[in-house]
A and B are shown apart, each in its own frame.
Chain A
Amino acid sequence: MPDQIFSKLLLGVGHGKWDCGEADDRWLSRGCRKEPGVQLIGPLFCTAHCDRRVRDTFLKSDRFANHRGEAQPVRRCSDQQTSSTNSLFALSPAAQTTFNAPRRWMSDASAKPKLSQEAVQERVLTVCKNFDKLTKDKLSLESNFMSDLGLDSLDHVELVMAFEDEFGYEISDTDEAVVTRRSIEVVSRNWSLG
């Protein structure tokens, strides 16, 4: 990668900077078509030079339907400002989504006090399936996390956190069913009672 582009990336054009490995690397490798030295800073484009039709389509899209009046033009990515004014699209604070809300694998559960056993089991299994380190084929109600599915205790903690996020219940570390790492069935039984 040419030094010029790399140093621009390092400067991290304000909040357009990408945390490499997390963002989509396709966009990092593409440059502005008309001015090759200018690096794209996201899945959008340098509006100074790039295709206006794409930008305009994007601005007219549903995604910005609610914020049309509020969006400000993208700064050129070659600008060397590093202040917070250099964000990609400056939306008003009201337009921002609450990212800090706990992520749920399924749609947001309105806190129902009692769930049927099957529903609970299904959700437990869905959480397990979405967990990175568990393979789908070995997963069953009777499988033990540590011995059958090959999780170590750190993975187990992460899995329990995923359950907590899904069901909205705080699981204490001394909770017996979880600490002794019995089968998924015990976990699901806990939820239907809890």
Chain B
Amino acid sequence: MAALRLHLLSLYKQMLRESEKFSTYNFRMYAIRRTKDGFREHRLENDPKMQGELIRKAEKSLEIIKRQAAIGQLFTTNKLIIETLGVLPQSPQNSHSPPTA
């Protein structure tokens, strides 16, 4: 049982690590969020058949993440504005000016 646990935890860590490698903001955030939610949701699953199925599903997802992250690295596009560093200037003469991020 401990081996299964270790396997699961290492799977979790691998999925998070691979998800971080997406270059697109949206995919990256989604993948990280989905793995966290997915693992947490089925945390208390006791039925071994269901467990096996979920583990298989997770391993498949890990493969998908690895492939898609690699493809994403090949065809990068521009970063979203929220990903770039820096702060918007405060322009006092504009009451409608957007506050700094």
A residues lining the B interface (CB < 8 Å): 15-17, 19, 22-24, 27, 33, 42-45, 51, 53-54, 57-58, 61-63, 84, 87-91, 93, 96-97, 99-100, 102, 152-154, 157-158, 160-161, 173-174, 179
Contacts and interface: CB of A to CB of B under 8 A. Distances in A.
Q: What's the dominant secondary structure at chain B's contact region?
A: loop
B29 interface: yes
A100 B18 CA distance: 11
Contacts of A153: 5, 9
B4 interface: no
Contacts of B43: 152, 154
User: What's the interface size class on B, roughly?
Assistant: 35 or more
B25 to A, nearest CB: 7
Interface of B: 5-6, 9-10, 12-13, 16-17, 20-21, 23, 25-26, 29-30, 36, 39-40, 43, 76-89, 91, 93-94, 96-98, 101
B97 A54 contact: yes
Given A54-B98, A99-B79, 10 more contacts: A19-B25, A19-B30, A44-B81, A53-B94, A57-B89, A57-B91, A87-B77, A91-B78, A96-B78, A161-B17
The 6 residue pairs across chains A and B that have the minimum distance between CB atoms:
A63-B86, A87-B78, A61-B89, A57-B91, A19-B26, A88-B81
B19 to A, nearest CB: 11
A24 B101 contact: yes
A100 B21 contact: yes
Contact of B79 (A17, A62, A96): A96
A175 B29 CA distance: 29
